[in-house]
């Protein structure tokens, strides 16, 4: 009987934990605000990426660090981590600087995407997780979108279809 009670209690704790994780999924929205090259070698590039974090909750959150991956046109481009801490007030936003590394292959994929785009927008996807004070498991995020880049026009001497 005691074993059965422990099993039920564990089940209730797991359900409560999953419920709190699903609430935190929409807790923040993260977008790339800026990207700056810090170092560049033949095999890798180091960037400082500024992320804008929008807190969509009615209480502040204190981020103690995190990690993310960035894809461009469905291909891995780079990944980043930070141990910077930032507190985001309720229904507010803040910026955090994150270091991102891209390899030679990530850069080659980006160049290929730029050449193959033929006037189409670049698609990006950023996903990751922040370690948050007082919240087991942290807060995950996932955003995607498009970036319109200037295309060739008839003024440039190129024909468009």
Q: What is the mean pLDDT of the chain?
A: 79
Residue 40 placed within a domain: yes
Parent domain of 59 = 27-149
What DSSP line would sit under 27-70, residue for residue? Answer: SEEEEEEEEEEEEE-SSEEEEEEEEEEEE-SSS-EEEEEEEEEE
Q: What is the total count of domains within the chain? A: 1
pLDDT (tens digit per residue) in 43-96:
899 999 999 999 999 999 999 999 999 998 888 889 999 999 999 999 999 999
Of the spans 38-42, 93-97, 116-120, 144-148, which averages the highest pLDDT? 93-97
Residue 161 placed within a domain: no
Share of the chain above pLDDT 70, in %: 73
Residue 4 placed within a domain: no
Handedness of CA 34, 39, 43, 44 (dihedral sign): negative
Residue 21 placed within a domain: no
Residue 13 placed within a domain: no
pLDDT (tens digit per residue) in 101-118:
998 877 777 777 667 666
Share of the chain above pLDDT 90, in %: 45
Lowest mean pLDDT among 26-30, 96-100, 124-128: 26-30
Residue 97 placed within a domain: yes
At 159 the pLDDT is 46
CATH of the domain at 109: 2.60.40.1820
Residue 12 placed within a domain: no
User: In whole angstroms, how large is the CA radius of gyration of the chain?
Assistant: 21
pTM of the model: 0.70
Residue 5 placed within a domain: no
At 145 the pLDDT is 82
């Amino acid at each position: 009987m005691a074993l059965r009670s422990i099993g039920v209690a564990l089940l209730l704790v797991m359900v409560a934990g999953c419920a709190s994780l699903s609430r935190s999924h929409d807790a923040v929205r993260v977008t790339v605000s800026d990207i700056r090259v810090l170092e560049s070698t033949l095999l890798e590039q180091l960037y400082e990426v500024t992320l804008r974090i929008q807190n969509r909750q009615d209480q502040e959150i204190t981020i103690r660090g995190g990690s993310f991956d960035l894809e461009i046109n469905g291909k891995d481009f780079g990944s980043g981590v930070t141990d910077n801490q930032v507190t985001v007030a309720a229904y507010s936003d803040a910026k955090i600087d994150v270091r991102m590394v891209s390899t030679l292959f990530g850069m080659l994929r980006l160049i290929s995407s730029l050449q193959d785009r033929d006037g189409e927008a670049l698609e990006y996807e950023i996903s990751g997780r922040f370690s948050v004070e007082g919240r087991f498991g942290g807060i995950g995020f996932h955003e995607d979108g498009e970036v319109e880049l200037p295309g060739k026009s008839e003024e440039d001497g190129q024909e468009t279809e």
